[in-house]
Each structure stands twice: as structure tokens, then as C-alpha cells.
């Protein structure tokens, strides 16, 4: 019991520290560009949809007793207008196009592929190279965490490349399921195991007869 607990703690510690090491290394050798969010600011200034709402608030005197009512009516009228909706749509399209041309898009793409590659290497190392069970579990958990966190970090990139993201995640998932099945890692529930044993015994009796 104590040995299993110690092994689990060591495996968990290895997984967390190795994952942190991977992401610190990425930030050191391939840091996020300084103009990462500039594409958003550019579109915001080109399509400033909130300008009319701000002008609306300035149009009335703040000391007036009906200030809040008049501002809310003015704001609601703008929000329901087709011009405001068209402006939001143009701002959204601008953000899409600007993001694809920005350093943020390239950084998300390249860092995603690097991290997924590193995660897959860690998982394969845990399967084929490492024999110590606690160390193997730690490396495998770290590889899974690296892939999960890299997916979340590069989510904006994957939203424009959903097919690629699905293919990569599904491939890693199938490798883990196959490995778990071949090594009997996933335990069968007692009820299903009992049903399986009864079925196997019936087959053996049929073969004897």
C-alpha cells in the first residue's frame, strides 16, 4: 500500500515537473512575440463599433434625473440597429483575416506542432524505452498533459484548422487506447468480467461436446 502510494506520488511529481520543463523550454527558445495581440487592436480601431454608444452617453447631462433612462434607451436603440450588427460582423471578419496574417497565428501554429511532437515523443518513450512502472506512468501522464495544454494554448489557431486538430488528437487517443488494451491497464468491471467468464465457460463446454 505504502509502496503504491509512493510510486503514484513520484509518477505525479515527474509528470508535473516534466510538463513545466517542456513549457519553460518553449518559452526560452521560442518565446511569444511582443506584437502578439496587435492584430486585434488594429481591427478595433478600424471598426470601432462602441463609438456610437460612447457618444450616446456623452450626449446627455449626467446630473439629469433621467440620465440613466435616456442613456439606456439610446444604447438599446444602437444595439438593435442593423448598422451596429454590420459593424460587429466586419470587426469579426477583420480579426479573422488579421489573425491569419499575424505573428500570433504563426507562433500558435509552430508552437502547437513542436509541443505535440514533444508530447508524442514523451508518450512513445514511456511505452518503448522506460521499464520502471512509476517512471513510465509519470512520463505518459506528462506527454498527455503537454498535448492537452498545447491544444488549449493554440486553440485560436485550431479554430481555423479544426480538421488537423481532430486528426492529431484522435491519433494520440487511439495510441493510448491501443496501449491500454494490449497491456490490460483498463480494468474490466466485476459484472462484465463475470459475464465474460460465463460466456467463455459455455464456449469451452460446446467445444468439448
Q: What is the mean pLDDT of each run of 10 residues along the chain (209 residues)?
A: 67 89 90 69 75 74 70 81 85 80 83 91 83 81 90 82 85 82 60 59 64
C-alpha cell at 37: 495581440
Looking at residue 117, what is its pLDDT?
92
Please report the pLDDT score of residue 10 as a whole number: 81
> What is the per-residue pLDDT for 40?
60
- For residues 23 and 7, what is the distance between their CA atoms, to the nearest angstrom? 25
How far apart are alpha carbons 115 and 134 in whole angstroms? 23
The pLDDT assigned to 198 comes to 64
Q: Are 146 and 100 contacting, i.e. CB atoms less than 8 angstroms apart?
A: no
Query: What local confidence, expressed as pLDDT, does residue 1 receive?
Result: 46
Res 181: pLDDT: 75
Amino acid at each position: 500500500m505504502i509502496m503504491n502510494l509512493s510510486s503514484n506520488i513520484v509518477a505525479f511529481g515527474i509528470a508535473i515537473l516534466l510538463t513545466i520543463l517542456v513549457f519553460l523550454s518553449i518559452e526560452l527558445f521560442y518565446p511569444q512575440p511582443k506584437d502578439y495581440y496587435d492584430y486585434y487592436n488594429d481591427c478595433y480601431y478600424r471598426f470601432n463599433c462602441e463609438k456610437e454608444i460612447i457618444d450616446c452617453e456623452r450626449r446627455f447631462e449626467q446630473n439629469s434625473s433621467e440620465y440613466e433612462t435616456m442613456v439606456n434607451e439610446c444604447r438599446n436603440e444602437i444595439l438593435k440597429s442593423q448598422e451596429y450588427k454590420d459593424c460587429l460582423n466586419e470587426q469579426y471578419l477583420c480579426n479573422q483575416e488579421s489573425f491569419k496574417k499575424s505573428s500570433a497565428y504563426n507562433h500558435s501554429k509552430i508552437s502547437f506542432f513542436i509541443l505535440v511532437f514533444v508530447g508524442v515523443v514523451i508518450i512513445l518513450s514511456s511505452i518503448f524505452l522506460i521499464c520502471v512502472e512509476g517512471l513510465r506512468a509519470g512520463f505518459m501522464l506528462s506527454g498527455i498533459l503537454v498535448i492537452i495544454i498545447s491544444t488549449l494554448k493554440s486553440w485560436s489557431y485550431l479554430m481555423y484548422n479544426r480538421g488537423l486538430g481532430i486528426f492529431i488528437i484522435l491519433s494520440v487517443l487511439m495510441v493510448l487506447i491501443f496501449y491500454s488494451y494490449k497491456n490490460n491497464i483498463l480494468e474490466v468491471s466485476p459484472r462484465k468480467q463475470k459475464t465474460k467468464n460465463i460466456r467463455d465457460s459455455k464456449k469451452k463446454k460446446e467445444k468439448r461436446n
